[in-house]
Amino acid sequence: MALFKMDIPRAAQHFLECDIDKCERNCEFYCNPCHLRLCKQCSEEHLKSPENKNHEVVLYQQRKRQLPVEKCKIHPTKDVDMLCEECQVPVCSKCVTQREHRGHIFNDLEKNYAEKFADFQEEISKIQDYFLPMSQDLQKEIKKDSSEIKHLMDHIRTCMKTEGETLKSLVDTVVSENMKQLNQIEHSLLEDLNTQDKTMDDYITYLHNLVKEFHRCLSSTETQKLMSETKPKIRSIPETTKPVTPGFTAGQYNKSDVTKLLGKIHVPNTKAEKREIRPIESVYNTAMKLTHKQMKEDRKKSDKKQTMSLSFSVTQVREFTVPGVDHVFHVTLDQSDRLWISDSEGNLVQTDLQGNVIQKIKTSGKWEGYHTVTQDRDLIFTDRDKKVINRITRDNNITKFIKTRYWEPLSIHSSHINGDLLVGMWKDEESKVTRYNKTGKELQNIQRGNKVQGLYGYPHYITENINGDICTSDSNKGVVVVNKSGQYRFSYTGQESGFHPFGICTDVLGHILVCDNYSNTVHLLDQDGQFLSLLLTQQQGVRYPCSVCVDDENNLYVGQDLTNTLTVYKYLQ
């Protein structure tokens, strides 16, 4: 990567320098035979030399790994530099003459080492980019299913208890009503029997009195008197009735009847569905994780992307004003000739490259990177107040695409790799990044680092690098980068104190560009977080930069606070 000629303190620069004496540029290329790091200019000079004309000079990222120095165990003064194909053991040049290797074929060990190194690197990439994320996703799905099972079982238990309590209540009601009816019947029957008993009691008293009267007559000594007595007529015995007693028919039920009333557990007689394991081809981007064979083929190519590098200077191409906004806090590339631009007052306008307004939308957005354009060219923008993410299709239909519940969506980016949406969110002093797929299904939450501490403070701008890294500009924690699995990679907090990042983007070479609103600069990092240079400074007319965006032609758009002017630069060649 070439270093820009700028007034930057040398102590603040961290980059790989060219190995050629007195060359202060940073290395961009690598000579495999010489194992030299070369800048663009020195690589051209290197190949011009007749003895070097057949040397293989490649991009530094595609270099062959240098063979480690290792002494031969049999000949300690010699370095191991060949591989015996027959024995598959590393040997030195002197070993070739040994009897045990006579007639064997020997290969360049460095070549084999480089191929083996590349193969292992590829396997590491596969593990990190496919097998590990896929396994972690499945584990999350298993844990989610476990949690859902617990919730489901608790729900079923509650339903069963409710059914039992309902049936018990009904039983109590029926028994109570039966008891009441029985009590009424008992009272009526006893009342009637008491009446009959009173009647019989009166009649028996009457009979006793009648017997006494007869005895009185019989006890008289006067015959005449007995003969004159009129025999009283005995009253008939009063009629009484036997009570009609109620019966009780026991309920005809069994356990099966109760089960029907209360319900029962049933397990579907279906085979458990296997969890989906996406094929490696759908996840592992072979365009980015090159196999050794592809790397050898790519070294022979000289396409634009491979030969592209940083220029030695940054050139302003043009600038234009954008009516309808007061500042330029965020820029989103719509298509090659259109942009979406927003300010801190909720104004979101679509313009062409001359600043002519095509349409304007009023939103609740402020100074965050709250809008993006999908692969289908739909505009997506967040609404912090309502905690939703809106979608506007090309026919201008607005829908509430995703509800973020208690989280306020701050920033959003549509992946150019797979179309996923990356959203920076904030809630009650907590922050996270959530990944959704194209349909709005939540796929991933990234919130904490390896030591359980929060990764983010306030992720107000977000983007994705060519290797799938998620890069956030966090006003509290600087630039925070995690890989696509959510594992922490690195942070960048500027070259001096007071670093306050705003807009962030990446380019075709994997560089990270971020605005520092306080120092009036745009910082340039490589994809591993190494500081390369201050791409733009106040000396170049940049004041309070807030937004950056790189288009398909590698033009850099820079928007600033306090002005609605958008400036376009060239920094790649």
Q: Where are the domains of the chain?
A: 130-262, 309-362+501-573, 369-492
Look at residue 497 in the predicted model and tell me its pLDDT: 81
Distances (CA, A) of 239 to 194, 195, 361, 376: 14, 12, 102, 102
Look at residue 434 in the predicted model and tell me its pLDDT: 95
More confident residue, 232 or 304: 232
Q: Enter the tokens of residue 18.
A: 């060219």
Could you give phi then psi for residue 426, rounded to 5 degrees?
-140, 145
Tell me what the mean pLDDT of segment 326-330 comes to.
Answer: 93
The pLDDT tens digits of the residues spanning 264-274 come to: 777 777 787 78
Tell me what the mean pLDDT of segment 365-377 comes to.
Answer: 91
Q: How many CB atoms within 10 Å of residue 380?
A: 22
Tell me what the mean pLDDT of segment 332-345 comes to.
Answer: 88
Asked if the model's pLDDT at residue 289 lies above 50, the reply is no
The pLDDT tens digits of the residues spanning 114-135 come to: 788 878 878 887 888 788 888 8
More confident residue, 397 or 42: 42
More confident residue, 293 or 510: 510
Asked if 305 and 508 count as a contact pair (C-beta separation under 8 A), the reply is yes
Q: How confident is the model at residue 248 (pLDDT cuts 50, 70, 90)?
A: confident
Look at residue 144 in the predicted model and tell me its pLDDT: 85
Distance CA 534, CA 104 (A): 56
List, in sequence order, every residue forming a beta bridge with 142; answer none if it has no partner. none
CATH number of 369-492: 2.120.10.30
Residue 146 is which amino acid?
Answer: S
Query: How would you class 23 by CB atoms within 10 Å of its CB: exposed for 0-12, middle for 13-18, buried for 19 or more?
Result: middle
Q: Enter the tokens of residue 91.
A: 């040997």
The H or E element containing residue 460 is strand 459-464
Instruction: Look over the chain and give the mean of its residue pLDDT values, rounded to a whole number.
Output: 84
CA-wise closest residue to 531 among 568, 485, 499, 558: 499
The pLDDT tens digits of the residues spanning 38-85 come to: 888 898 889 988 888 889 888 887 777 777 888 888 888 888 888 888
The pLDDT tens digits of the residues spanning 430-486 come to: 899 999 998 899 999 998 765 557 899 999 999 999 989 999 999 999 999 999 888
Q: How confident is the model at residue 411 (pLDDT cuts 50, 70, 90)?
A: very high
Could you give phi then psi for residue 494, rounded to 5 degrees?
85, 175
Look at residue 3 in the predicted model and tell me its pLDDT: 35
The H or E element containing residue 216 is helix 132-218
Q: What percent of the chain is predicted at pLDDT more than 70? A: 91
Distance CA 35, CA 29 (A): 10
Asked if the model's pLDDT at residue 8 lies above 80, the reply is no
Q: How confident is the model at residue 522 (pLDDT cuts 50, 70, 90)?
A: very high
Look at residue 552 in the predicted model and tell me its pLDDT: 87
Most confident of 21-25, 55-59, 109-113, 290-294: 55-59
Look at residue 283 in the predicted model and tell me its pLDDT: 55
Tell me what the mean pLDDT of segment 286-300 comes to.
Answer: 42
* Predicted TM-score (pTM) of this structure: 0.52
Look at residue 15 in the predicted model and tell me its pLDDT: 55
